[in-house]
Structure 1
């Protein structure tokens, strides 16, 4: 049986679902980001209450990539593992916690949170069900009830020797401690000793405080640039190669089907990272170097930052020359003018296939 992948109809945002068929009729289900202006409708359409999510990957913490998480957490049966970017500090862990609890959800259905640092350590392959994690420094005061938290460094994860996953996140400075100090102040102001005690209060004031902490860090104060560049990218591919089939599906049931025979079977998901060399010359080179062994297998490439001109790098078309299909997720008539006209023109000039999801259109493909 073929495995199915969907870039869902969330409008301006990103919600990607993968369902990998394993042995004994089992399915490995993963999600990459969960946000957008139509995220509630997309969750209702593509997620059921019986769903068990084996892997949830959060690229970064902009609202249009995570505003569906509370609905997702409340609806599904279980989330086994959540993967978030890590840079020698627990700010992203605290942002995740702040957003979930601040918006009326909990981690009661979550087994484990894994912080990913791909820039350190020797590359090592591990079975997904036997991931070995390191302890997270300075997390004791911020532990969540009944949720395991750990770090992995530069790991390639395999699922039943059928599918592989490889992460990448850029090295960025970690001099921002605002989140930790604000969390500590919130705990102290409510006369609690730690985060777990604060969460047990279930006070509206605590929820408002957590939402404010998230908003201060991810929106106005830092203008999102650090969050965007810290995006956790994900490469996934089958170990055994077969032929993918592409079709597009409109919400009203009308289907436009396109079939192409390609020889590259990997997908790269890029969040909101910037790969533009003029702004971040080191970042693109490190990204390319990190995936140097996978470049020839990447047939499907998610345009970074919803196809923004300022995040695109024309060198992608040279270095990833065997990549045929480019995906994009953005809202119709959005104020950011995503995807950028320059990006689309370059892709069309190279005769690439561009598949765009929006509020009304879901892109599906099968391998």
Structure 2
């Protein structure tokens, strides 16, 4: 099996894809993390979508880090090019996903997309860090997500090919406004019933507006970011190539840690590092993180200096998806100096086509590789 990850050059936004090919070269799994951009080239995301997926290619997993337009405004284009259906799992950082349908004034693109998902029967799964069953255990097969409306923040998802895992989670201390909102509406509506939510849209909307933080006329109660760790199973061997104007090759695990628009200053970096390290120790024999996303497009207010420290040892190669000239958030060019001084690799993924990053790895069961080597 061949694994391919692409960090697409869409400028100020995010569009990351992972695909799995069988021995005949057929794509058997498609995974997407975010799909959107604020770019000077308005058709750039659509171009990347069309050049990545064949018409009606099925999307198995779609992770949405958060609800800002530069991370979601390409979702409708993604849906028009691919097949998103009842077997697609959409993972979002929100406890009750269908409430997004009443937030159309604040998140119009995402609300419209969630409505579409509801209409076609796709499974929209929210992450709940406080779930009763939020404990480690056997990985959940992707097919087993069908009956779940929420997923605990310590649950690992396994693809059908059993060679690859995904670990989505949030920082639990970021959800205080959500909890207040949920507490007030629980007695009014069944939050897992999309039809009931729509019938009481106006009432729910009024509660939402009184609780949420208002900035620039937009109400926001979702301040979470969905972190996502993508990594090989414990019994997988790999040969990996990485292209980004330079060609890196070697027997490295193509593990990647996506951080969205999180703020990892303070103790945030240490918290997520410990959670990821624990998961890799349990499910992948301590495999190291090879690639890690610099948070929030390289914003100085979200970037912890220790992340560029070579002696940190948590991950090997950083990447930042940004337009260096965009006004919000402002990309802090001093980050480049931080990485350079510490002799640590930083990949800039901008609007330039040649800034795209491609990771291609051959995956096979460990025992098969051992047999091949012995022979």
Q: TM-score scaled by structure 1?
A: 0.74
Equivalent pair of 1:329/1:358 in contact (CA under 8 Å)? yes
Give the 5 Å matches for 1:341-352: 341-352=333-344
SS in 1 for 2:315: coil
Counterpart position of 2:269: 284
For residues 76-133 of structure 1, give each alpha carbon's deviation from its aligned partner in whole angstroms, at most 9, with x where no partner exists: 22241000113xx53x542367434547972244521111134652112324234257
For residues 300-353 of structure 1, give each alpha carbon's deviation from its aligned partner in whole angstroms, at most 9, with x where no partner exists: 111111111111112333675252221111124212465322322111122222
For residues 205-256 of structure 1, give each alpha carbon's deviation from its aligned partner in whole angstroms, at most 9, with x where no partner exists: x9xx99x98xx878635786x645x1011111122131321113xxxxxxx4
Whole-Å separation in 2 of the counterparts to 1:54 and 1:36 = 22
SS in 2 for 1:241: strand
Counterpart position of 1:243: 239
Counterpart position of 2:248: 259
User: Structure 2 vs 1, CA of residues 218 and 157 (structure 1 numbering), >3 Å: closer, same or farther?
Assistant: farther
Counterpart position of 1:174: 176
Equivalent pair of 2:90/2:124 in contact (CA under 8 Å)? yes
* Corresponding position: 1:232 with 2:237: no
Counterpart position of 2:260: 271
SS in 2 for 1:259: strand
User: Structure 2 vs 1, CA of residues 102 and 180 (structure 1 numbering), >3 Å: closer, same or farther?
Assistant: farther
User: Structure 2 vs 1, CA of residues 181 and 298 (structure 1 numbering), >3 Å: closer, same or farther?
Assistant: closer
SS in 2 for 1:315: helix
TM-superposed CA distance for 1:257, in Å, is 4.5
User: Structure 2 vs 1, CA of residues 197 and 223 (structure 1 numbering), >3 Å: closer, same or farther?
Assistant: closer
Counterpart position of 1:20: 20
Counterpart position of 1:74: 80
Instruction: Show structure 2 runs of 5+ residues with no match.
Output: 39-43, 190-194, 281-285, 362-375
Counterpart position of 1:315: 306
Whole-Å separation in 2 of the counterparts to 1:236 and 1:179 = 31
Question: 4+ runs of 1 displaced by more than 6 Å?
Answer: 177-184
- Of 287, 292, 296, which aligns to 1:301? 292
Whole-Å separation in 1 of the counterparts to 2:22 and 2:152 = 24
* Corresponding position: 1:128 with 2:141: yes
User: Structure 2 vs 1, CA of residues 315 and 34 (structure 1 numbering), >3 Å: closer, same or farther?
Assistant: same
Counterpart position of 2:56: 50
Whole-Å separation in 2 of the counterparts to 1:51 and 1:311 = 36
Moved more, 49-58 or 150-159: 150-159
C-alpha RMSD of the superposition: 3.6
Counterpart position of 1:161: 162
Aligned residues: 320
Counterpart position of 1:142: none
Whole-Å separation in 2 of the counterparts to 1:304 and 1:262 = 27
Give the 5 Å matches for 1:210-221: 220=216
TM-superposed CA distance for 1:56, in Å, is 0.2
For residues 151-179 of structure 1, give each alpha carbon's deviation from its aligned partner in whole angstroms, at most 9, with x where no partner exists: 44411112232001112201134335897
User: Structure 2 vs 1, CA of residues 303 and 354 (structure 1 numbering), >3 Å: closer, same or farther?
Assistant: same
